Amino acid sequence: MKENIFGLSLPQLQERLKTLKLPAYRAQQVIDWMYKKHTLSFDKMTNLSQELRQTLAEEFSLFRARLIDKQFSDDGKTTKFLLAFADGVAVETVLMRQPYGNSICVSTQAGCNMGCAFCASGINGLGRNLTAGEILAQALFINEWLAPEEERVNTIVIMGSGEPLANYDNVLGFIRLCHEKYCMDMGYRNITLSTSGIVPMIERLATEDLPITLSISLHAPNDEIRSSLMPINEKYSIEQLTQAGAAYANKTKRRITYEYILIAGVNDQAEHARQLAALLRGQMASVNLIPINPIVEKGFARPTAKQIQLFEAALLKQHLVVTVRREMGNDIQAACGQLRNKHLE
């Protein structure tokens, strides 16, 4: 099988083309066609000789992703894409048209093995990790989708299917590629990574000198509730996790976001708000409240609007920075995993 060079950085491609005795500038030409001009055929790289194009086509492939399915929300602001890679493995990517620009949510694994009780991504377990190129393919697919409107992706949230820090090297490769001028030329501050809380990898990420935003899926104010919702809490307790979050914020000088899914009767009571406030007091952090997107297979219920307001007010009273996530794509089940699971069935 030919090597797929989509997803290589410029230095990596330069090194690869050395084996064909090609000068470094050829790699720059190929990179421009791949990432800037969305070209997936060597035949179309017209500033390369016919002989060179044939040589490259014999050695390499340029597979990116193909569209299997798509869904549009009624308000036209959210689009979910199901994209497949060369081996047929498919993942979801979501485009959200926000007031501040176009935001996308990308997947880092096909499926997930974290076992969170409220999430559809793990219903069929983990298929495999995605490569840096496969994660990038999602972002560039949507850039190409937006191009006819003279728009582009403005922000990226690494919060789709999978645990990003369980696929660390590929995710870091993707983030660095997004930042490169020859690729997406995106500022690191426009990228958010969300993790369920693999503490050693959070500590490692803090040393990377990447000013991205870190979002931690907390979803509970104490170990008992969190362990019932998120098995990873049995390995890394809430205390360990919030200490790692505080250390990350102190080292990077970047405010942490703690994601908190509100589930009726589980973690949405006044006592839970008091515990959460005590847990995060003094941290350079904000709390993002997320009323749960009900998933038939999971059986959890959404709190009432009044209960959501009361919980938010209780946190604000304790001087926490709080937002309630603006809902997008509920009518197309934009939460991760649901379209992929339908496809698998």
Contacts of 223 (CB under 8 A, 6+ apart): 233, 237, 238
Q: Is the dihedral of CA 277, 236, 121, 97 positive or negative?
A: positive
Contacts of 263 (CB under 8 A, 6+ apart): 118, 229, 292, 300, 301, 302, 303
Which secondary structure element, helix H or strand E, spans residue 205, and what is its range? helix 199-205
Helix (H, G, I), strand (E, B) or coil at 6: coil
**Token match 């997406």: residue?**
184
| CA gap 134, 167 in Å, rounded | 12
Is residue 92 part of the annotated active site? The answer reads yes
Q: How many CB atoms lie within 10 A of CB 278?
A: 10
- The backbone torsions φ and ψ at residue 268, rounded to the nearest 5 degrees and listed phi first, read -115, 15
Catalytic hit among 112, 178, 183, 336: 336
Is residue 336 part of the annotated active site? The answer reads yes
In order, the DSSP letters of 229-240 are H-GGGGTS-HHH
Nearest Cα neighbor of 286 from 317, 243, 315 is 315
- Radius of gyration (C-alpha) of the chain in whole angstroms: 21
Catalytic hit among 15, 92, 312, 327: 92
Residues classed as catalytic: 92, 336
